[in-house]
A and B are shown apart, each in its own frame.
Chain A
Amino acid sequence: MTYSIANNANDQVVKTFLLVQIDFEETVYWTDCDIPIVTTGGEGDAPAARWEPTGIKVSGITTRQSDSNLASIEIQNADNFMSAIMFSTSSPVGARARVYEAWFDPTKTSAIPDDTKLLLDGLCGGPELSRSGDTATATLRALRGLLGSRVIPRRKVVDLCMFDFKGSVGCQYAGAATECDRTKATCTSLGNQARFGGFPWNNGA
């Protein structure tokens, strides 16, 4: 747990907002905050970007120790932005979507968060346009993780293991070693390779 989250997790004054990054033909950076949020790439998991406010609702997100799932991302479509994407030649199905939570310390005065935490990294499922009454929205249905076909459950695609060393979920190593450098080689030397939490084929590692 990062310093900011550890120190403010129980603070009702702390402000948190969602950041949504979706790799359509052009990557969009949206937030449910009422002002733009700026990340420099040094505040945790989120990349450097300016996250623009838009009508967006992330629902059905469940986060566990080792994975997260998401039911849908609902996006306002009064400006037909999402219609244009859905009717374009490249469907949003399969577009990579990442949802982060941005944490602001209670004393924060700028729009740069203190921490960002990746909540979910997955692929968009079936899209749906809706004009219900006077509301126009687009919904990106269950990320594929819910269907079990492919999910990147709160793990970065890096060659190093992302599990907490000796954590009860994921690593579960119970041997005598006190340190781990998170590489596949070390995990193997500890006899725990079956629970290795990285992607060793990434970057050829």
Chain B
Amino acid sequence: MDLYPQTPVPSEASDFSDEFKTIDGGDWENGAIASRPARLYPKYSASLIYSERDFSEFYALYEFFMSQRGRSGRFAFADFNGHDASPVGIAWPKLLVGVGTGAQTAWDLPMMNSSGYDTGASGGDPGYGIFVDGTRRARGTGATEYAFASGTGANGRDKVTFVTAPTAGQIIEWRATGRRVVQARFVVDKATFQSFTNMITKTGLQVEEVRW
């Protein structure tokens, strides 16, 4: 899978969103509104605006759009927020890594340039790191339950390898500071060069997560 071009860099902070879905039981006359979640994890999307770039940089993005054949292509997209910060990226809430199979020990994380997952003593801040069914796994003194490898996953994603594979049905989540990575696609099929230029300079070039 291709990685979305890392250069040029959007000139403004990426406007990203996370969208849930909710099933409603109706809006009733007495004011009662019942609802329940239809999605456990949100769908990520981003709008990217580039400005004051030369033609060759625009053309690189246009060429990438063409290579993906519009919406049909799937690529890895790394959120640009905090890309030049130190530490790199921003702090994210728990992100879905996957659902255990009972056999798979190595998992690519939905993040690159991860940091802050094991700061502090004895395995780090309990609010950050990798969680299996909501329980944080240790990666510190005397209790190493997983190994972390920076940038060794697909498309430069970070990777963890568990000592013992999470059992089937266990939900694996990752919380850290870094650049969030999702499998994504463009949201439009059509882009003349002029409209494409308008999109990336004014209205925003939009991508959305495609999880499966």
Contact = CB atoms under 8 A, between A and B. Distances in A.
Interface stretch (B4-12, B33-41, B113-121, B137-145): B33-41
B115 to A, nearest CB: 25
A108 to B, nearest CB: 9
B155 interface: no
Interface string B56-97: 000000000000000000000000000000000000000010
Given A12-B34, A109-B134, A33 B170 contact: no
A35 B40 contact: yes
B66 to A, nearest CB: 19
A38 B41 contact: no
B35 A109 contact: no
B199 interface: no
Contacts of B133: 109-110
Interface of B: 34-41, 96, 99, 101, 133-134, 168-171, 189, 211-212
29 contacts: A12-B34, A12-B35, A12-B36, A15-B37, A15-B40, A16-B36, A34-B40, A34-B41, A35-B171, A37-B169, A38-B99, A38-B168, A40-B168, A40-B169, A50-B101, A50-B168, A52-B212, A54-B212, A109-B133, A109-B134, A109-B171, A110-B169, A110-B170, A110-B171, A111-B99, A111-B169, A111-B171, A112-B169, A134-B189
Given A13-B36, A110-B133, A35 B96 contact: yes
B36 A14 contact: yes
Interface of A: 12-16, 32-38, 40, 50, 52-54, 109-112, 134
Contacts of A37: 169
A38 to B, nearest CB: 3
Q: Determine chain A's interface SS by DSSP, over half rule.
A: loop
Nearest to A53: B212
Contacts, number: 46
A15 B169 contact: no
A13 B34 CA distance: 10
Contacts of A15: 36-37, 40
A36 B40 contact: no
A78 B18 CA distance: 25
Contacts of B212: 52-54
B99 A35 contact: yes
A53 B211 contact: yes
Nearest to B33: A12
Nearest to B39: A34
A134 B71 CA distance: 11
Contacts of A33: 40
Nearest to A109: B134
A16 B22 CA distance: 12
Contacts of A40: 168-169
Contacts of A110: 133, 169-171
